[in-house]
Structure 1
Amino acid sequence: MSRVLVTGSAGFIGGYLVQELLGRGHEVVGVDNYSKYGPVAHSYDDDPRYRFVEGDARDTGLLAGLLADCDHFVAGAAMIGGISYFHSYAYDLLATNERIMAASCDAALRAFRGGRLRKVTYLSSSMVFESTDRWPSREGDERRVPPPLSSYGFQKLAVEYYARAAWDQYRLPYTIVRPFNCVGVGEGRALGEAEVLSGNVKLAMSHVVPDLVQKILKGQDPLHILGDGQQVRHYTYGGDLARGIATAMEHEAARNEDFNISTDRSTTVRELAELIWQKIKGPELPLRLISDKPFEYDVRCRIPDVRKARDVLGFQASTSLDEMLDEVIPWVGRAVEEGRL
C-alpha cells in the first residue's frame, strides 16, 4: 500500500484519519507540533506502520524531507477551533494557516518534482460556504456565492485556491475535502483557549456537542444556547469523516475534484439540545432554554449537498446522531469527573 504523510495528525480529525489509513493497510507518517492540546496518546502509537514526527507544518524543509518517500500527502494541519476561535484569534488563524499552506505546497511541489508524490489531499471546511444564501451547498458554490466574512472561512477558501493554483501552474494533482461539523471523542480543551462563559459554565472546546453535554452534566438548568437554536447543522461522526477523506485520497476519480464530506441529516441546535437533555436527564424533566447572544459568525444554515461524494466515491456517512451521542456523552462525563472539562 501507499505511504501517507498526514500533517495535523494529533488533531481531532487527524486522529480518526490516521487510524482509518492504518486500518486500510497504508503506512502513515504523522506530523504535529502539539500546539493545540499538548501531547496526546493514541491506540495506534506503537503500530509498526506508523511514525510520528513532532514538528511544525510551517517548516518547508521538514515536510519536503518527509514527503520524499511518500505517495500521498494529506494537508490537514491548521490552527482551528470552535466559534469562539474565529473571534479571539482572527489574525492568528489567518496568518498561521497561510504560512502552513504555503509551506505545505512548497514542500509538495518539491517532492512531486522528485517523482514519488502522486497527489495532495487538502482539508478545507464547510465555512467556505459561510456567506451563502442558497442550500444545499453544492461543490462549486464556493466560487459563486460571496466570500466568507470570517478570517477562518476566508483562509479555508484560500486553501482551495492553493490546490487549484498548484495544479494550474505545476500540474500537482489534488483533491479537496470539506468536512462538516465533526463529532467524536478524544478532543481536549485547547491550550491557550480564550475563556468564554455560557451562563455559569465555561465552554468546552467551543464545539456545540461537548459544550451542551458538559453543561447538562454540570447541572445547568435552564440550559444556555447561542442564539434561538434554529441554526441548522449536519453533525458528522469523526470516523465517517475519516472514511470519506481516506476514500477521496485513494480514489482515481477524485483527482482534481472537490467533495463535501458529511451526513445528509439536518439538525437544529434546539433539536440537538433536546436529544442530549433526554439522554442525560430522561424525558420526565422538561428542557428549559435560555438564548444567549450569538457570535457574529454563527452561520444560520450549513447544509451540504452530498450527492457528489455518494455518486463519485460511493461514500455515505452511516453513523446516526443518536449513536454519536451514546459514545460522546460517557466520554465527556469522564472528562468532567476527572476535571479535564
Structure 2
Amino acid sequence: MTQQNKSKNLPKRTLGTQGLQVGAIGLGTMGMTMAYGAGDEPGGISTIRRAYELGVTFFDTAELYGMGTGSNEQLVGRAVKGVRDDVVLATKFGFDMSAPPNAEGFALNSRPEHIREVTENSLRHLGTDYIDVLYQHRVDPDVPIEDVAGTVGELIAAGKVRYFGLSEAGPDIIRRAHAVHPVSVLQTEYSVFERAVETEVLPVVRELGIGFVPYSPLGRGFLTGAVKPAAEYPEDDMRSWDDRWQPGNYEKNLTAIRQLTALADAKGITVTQLALAWLLAQGDDIVPIPGTRSPQRVAENAAAAHVTLTAQDLARVQEILPQGSAGSRYPKAMMPAW
C-alpha cells in the first residue's frame, strides 16, 4: 500500500475527550470473514487498502469475527502493514470462544485474566505492539464492569492499548466504567432503521464526553437497496433469519427504502449515502463504520461524508421512518441487555 495516492479529503472527527481523531467514516470488517456467507480475504484486503487511499483511518475488527482463530484480525493486520501508525485499529474481547455456542450465541467472558489473554492474541494477530481502541464486546453480567475498566486501564498504562471502549452497554454500565477509567468510545447499532439509542444512551455518552460509533449503519445492507427476501439468502447469511427480512416486515421496510431512494435520487446521491449522511448529521461526535467487501462500495460510503442534508431532508427521513424499521434487530435471546 502506498501513501502517495491517499486522499486527505475525508473530514476528520474526534471521538471522546481523550483526543482520538479518525476519518468521519470508518470501516467495519466483520462481513469479510463471517455472517454474510463465505469469507473473501483478497477482497477484504483490497477494500481496506482502497479505504485507506480514500482517507478512511478507522478499522474495526474483533476476536469474534475470526471465530477465535484470529483470521479477521490477521486480515486487517496484513492490509495495513506498512501504514500501521497512520491508522486506528479497534478490536474487542468479551466472548469465550473455547465454549460451543448455544441458542444465545457464544458464552461471555470478561474476567481480567481472559481480557489480558485476548489482548495478547489480538496484538499478535494484528501484527502490532499496541491496540488503539479495545472494546468490551458485550457486557458480562458475571464480571463487575469496574473490574473490566480497571483491567483495560492497566493495559493502557502498560502501553498495549490506547483507548477504552464499550459495545452495547447501557447508561448504568457506561457511568460505572467511566468512573474507573475514561471510556473514549461506545459502539452500538444505530441507523435510520434502528433508533433505540436516541432516548437514553446518546444523552449519557454526550454528558460524559464519549464518542459514539454506530455499527450496522446501513441496516445490515437493507439501506443499500440491494435486498431480497430472507428465504433467498443462504443459511450462513444472517439476513436469512434477521427479523427485518421476514415476510410482513420485509415489505414494509422495502416501501421505506423506496421512499428514501426517491429522496436520495432528488439530491443526486445514493440511498446508502443518504443513510450515512443522516447519521453524520446527528452529531459531530458520531463516526459510523459501514461494512463492505467491495472497494467500489467503500468509495461510495466515504463520499457520504461530503453530503449535506438540509432541515427539510432530515424532516422527510423522519416522516418516512419515524420510529425506525419494522422488525427487531436481534432475536430476543440475542438482544443485548442494557
Per chain length, whose mean CA-contact separation is higher, i.e. which structure has more relative contact order (CA < 8 Å, sep 6+)?
2
TM-score above 0.5:
no
TM-score normalised to the size of structure 2? Answer: 0.32
TM-score normalised to the size of structure 1? Answer: 0.32
